[in-house]
Amino acid sequence: MNSIAAELNEMLEGTTAGALLSDLGRRMYFPKGIVAQSAEAKQKATTYNATVGMAKIGSDPMYLKSIFDLTDGLSPNEVFSYAPTAGDPALRAAWKDQLLEKNPSLAGKPISSPVVVSGLTHGILMIADLFLDAGDSIIIPDMFWGNYRLIFEERREASIVPFPFFSEQGRLNLDALDRTISSIEGDRVALILNFPNNPTGYSPSREEAAALAALLERHAQKGKRLLIISDDAYFGLFFEEETATESLFALLADLHENILAVKVDGSTKEDFVWGFRVGFITYGAKGMSGAQYEALIKKTMGAIRSSISNSSRPAQSLILKGMLSPTYAQEKADAFALLKARYEKVKQTLAAYADSDMLKPLPFNSGYFMTFTCKGDAEELRNYLLDSYGIGTISIGGTYLRIAFASVDIEHIEDLYAQLFKAAGELWS
């Protein structure tokens, strides 16, 4: 094992983060190589800096005018230079400030600085690399984003252990989760939860969120070491008064020494920049010191360095500029209002089909999506909608049909759902 990795492991000794590391996670480190030496030279090389592999003219990167002319408002360094492996420090600081503002329960809780990754998918993969070995189990609701299979099962060769997401009462099935955690052998448990959920569009109420945190704390008190990943891809899009508006991470970050909470979020949906591919990883664990967080960040930087080197500099620069704009907050509020109006239109429209047995909506209250349980085969309906109606939907597991109402203008929603029910009736009546 590399001596730097061994040193980081020693710093993490006695923490839940250290105990939960995978074999790869234990071997991971950020090398004192080109990147680290270049960063040191940036601070001290006052005569000449001949370290980084980047062509420069004076203090600016060399660039093509035809490309730079497309980036009005940014400097050459904000567009063309490499970003630090952990991300632009100013963006990391701004994201943490916003994270604390959006999650008041984090006040006074020591958490790590967010680390920039290339989108949430990359962030989840980095956590899988650091904490899951082949043969390990990870608990996931039975309604989950399909890419989890590629990340956890195919890339990391872990086993997905599902639990029923909804109870018979249409609420978060905490009893099933409780039983599933208890069924995991040994003291290491990994769990990923995605709120608002893709594909169902469901988020827990404040009461459910508190009960979920209490459930996890009980298992921690019994000696389970818990890795809890909050996949907050659609964070902030909460449309009902009773819905919990803080991340589960905020409740877990300082809850118990046996819980390592990880928040994976990003600008992708929160700032409506899907193609920018900028996400963040933030850690929280009771009792971890600043030095121990830095050790964990160094391991995360090693995982990033060995996979993509660093995330897009211009994307980070644009997001930071946007966050600092005086109109940023109002623009986000306006976008939220538009999506909430579409959600409310869907709810209103579905009321007219309450007696239909063709398509039954699962509970939803947030995010981009809602999902139907189908009377017949969901894939058959998906193909029929495409071929006969020119309507695109997503079928899941032969039973469910997901509708992304966020991508449909409000004036078309009533007609969309009319055609969905009409097509289902033509197939299954």
Task: Please determine, for residue 51, whether its predicted confidence score (pLDDT) is greater than 80.
Answer: no
- Please tell me the distance from the alpha carbon of residue 105 to that of residue 101, in angstroms, as a whole number: 9
The one-letter code for the residue type at 124 is I
In a domain, 341, yes or no: yes
Tell me which H or E stretch contains 351. Answer: none
Question: Which of 323, 349, 371 is where one domain is finished?
Answer: 323
Is pLDDT above 90 for 41?
A: no
Q: In sequence order, which ranges of 137-266 are alpha helices (DSSP H)?
A: 147-148, 174-183, 206-221, 248-252
296 shares its domain with 351: no
Model confidence at 54, pLDDT cuts 50, 70, 90, reads confident
Q: What pLDDT is recorded for position 74?
A: 92
In a domain, 60, yes or no: no
280 and 156 share one domain: yes
Last residue within a domain, chosen from 300, 323, 346: 323
What confidence score (pLDDT) does residue 44 get? 73
Provide the domain count of the chain.
2
The chain-wide mean pLDDT, for the chain, equals: 94
68: in domain:
no
Token pair for 2: 């590399």
344 and 257 in one domain? no
| Residue 37, in any domain of the structure | no
- Euclidean distance between CA atoms 268 and 232, whole angstroms: 11
Chain segment 166-224, per-residue pLDDT in tens: 999 999 999 999 999 999 999 999 999 999 999 999 999 999 999 999 999 999 999 99
If asked whether residues 296 and 370 sit together in one domain, one would say no
Pair 268, 274: CB distance under 8 Å: yes
In the chain, the percentage of residues whose pLDDT exceeds 90 is 91
Within this chain, do residues 304 and 347 fall inside the same structural domain, yes or no? Answer: no
Q: What is the pLDDT of residue 399?
A: 95
Q: What is the pLDDT of residue 45?
A: 63
Mean pLDDT over 416-429 rounds to: 96
**What would you measure as the largest C-alpha separation in the chain, in angstroms?**
80
Domain co-membership, 102 together with 157: yes
The confidence score (pLDDT) of residue 58 equals 84
Confidence bin at 50 (pLDDT 50/70/90)? confident
Nearest to 421 by CA among 352, 321, 320: 352
Same domain, 196 and 342: no
The pLDDT of residue 56:
84
304 in the same domain as 177 = yes
Q: What is the mean pLDDT of residues 406-427?
A: 97
Q: Residue 307 belongs to what domain range? A: 3-30+85-323
Same domain, 157 and 247: yes
Element (H, E) at 319: helix 313-323
Query: If you compute the radius of gyration of the chain from its CA atoms, what whole number of angstroms results?
Result: 23
Distance, in Å, from the CA atom of 79 to the CA atom of 100, rounded to the nearest integer, reads: 28
Please say if the pLDDT value at position 48 is more than 80. Answer: no
Q: Is residue 127 domain-shared with residue 142, that is, in the same domain?
A: yes
Distance in angstroms (rounded) separating the CA atoms of residues 96 and 109: 12
Give the CA count within 13 Å in the CB-facing half-sphere of 345. 19
Backbone dihedral angles phi then psi of residue 364, each to the nearest 5 degrees: -150, 145
Share of the chain above pLDDT 70, in %: 97
The rounded distance, in Å, linking the Cα atoms of 215 and 182 is 11
What six digits make up the tokens of 151?
């990340």
pLDDT of 117: 98
pLDDT tens, position by position, 89-100: 999 999 999 999
User: What residues pair up with 264 in beta bridges, in sequence order?
Assistant: 231, 281
Asked if 140 contacts 161 with a C-beta cutoff of 8 angstroms, the reply is yes
Domain containing residue 317: CATH number: 3.40.640.10
Q: Residue 421 belongs to a domain with what CATH number?
A: 3.90.1150.10
Give whole-number Cα distances, 356 to 350, 378, 422, in Å.
10, 16, 11
